[in-house]
Amino acid sequence: MARVKVLVLRTAGINCDQETVFAWQQAGAQAELVHVDRLIESPARLTDVQILTIPGGFSYGDDVSAGRILGNQLALHLLEPLRAFLDAGKLLLGICNGFQVLVKAGLLPGPPGGEPTVTLAFNDSSRFEARWVHLHVCTDRCAFLPAGATLRLPVAHAEGKVVVSDDDALADLCRRGQVALRYVDANGGPADYPANPNGSVDGIAGLTDATGQILGLMPHPERFVDPTHDPLWTRSAPSEPDGRILFRSAVARFR
């Protein structure tokens, strides 16, 4: 059986690209790094892959706002090819800065190019937050996530607070199953700071689109794809690392 092909997008300031390639390889996929300029030159590259990933980092230094410049590039130059990509049943993943890019490009919560109802703002703590967090999978429609699972992943960001335009927009996200992940405490209950590291509305840590083909999340699954990535690994029984579950689930969709 042919290996699932993944394109990992990079540009200036992206710094989690190699880790993301490794994560896809660990899940059995064939991953290729491609600069956004090369994809803009040749959008047909998307026809040869099943999954597109925008990894974490600080694209273009986050100089305007986190993910804004790369998000604008996608919206201005690649929106139609991305629509065709998604119409073909393929998958799109944005991790941390990649989540910010998807939101700023109008791809999340969707539909692509629609009126924006969500953005990502500075953490309530007004500082960079880096720690391990607990997450609850809140949807049964996302191709990357097992419904009802509880995951433990690291976060590392300064602008990770999910903000929704109004209560009606939040209710719509919940009703449509687009809230993919919520921060929870170690017992699975509602999370306050620091378990919710940024103050996201309703504890939102990740969103999916209405089809479940797009996932954007602030935590870093690519940083937990080997048991030894866990700082507590010597105290735990061997098991599949929680981050690898996301990549494996997406690859399995195409097998």
Secondary structure in 3-state letters for 136-182: EECCCCCCCCCCCCEEEEEEEECCCEEEECCHHHHHHHHHCCCEEEE
pLDDT single digits (tens) 170-195: 999 999 999 999 999 999 999 999 99
End-to-end CA distance of the chain: 8
Q: One of 134, 136, 157, 220 is an active-site residue; which one?
A: 220
Alpha helices by DSSP H, listed for the chain, are 17-26, 36-41, 68-73, 79-87, 97-104, 167-175, 242-253
pLDDT single digits (tens) 94-110: 999 999 999 999 999 98
Neighbours of 163 (CB within 10 A): 15
Top-level class of domain 5-253 = alpha beta
Query: Binning pLDDT at 50, 70 and 90, where does residue 114 land?
Result: confident
Q: One of 19, 129, 159, 222 is an active-site residue; which one?
A: 222
Q: Are 7 and 53 in contact (CB under 8 A)?
A: yes
* Residue 220 falls in the annotated catalytic set: yes
In terms of Cβ atoms closer than 10 Å to its own Cβ (0-12, 13-18, 19+), residue 232 is: exposed
* Residue 96 falls in the annotated catalytic set: yes
pLDDT single digits (tens) 198-216: 999 999 999 999 999 999 9
What does pTM read for this prediction?
0.96
Q: One of 16, 19, 96, 129 is an active-site residue; which one?
A: 96
Single-letter residue type at 9: L
What are the extents of the domains in the chain? 5-253
Neighbours of 183 (CB within 10 A): 27
* Residue 19 falls in the annotated catalytic set: no
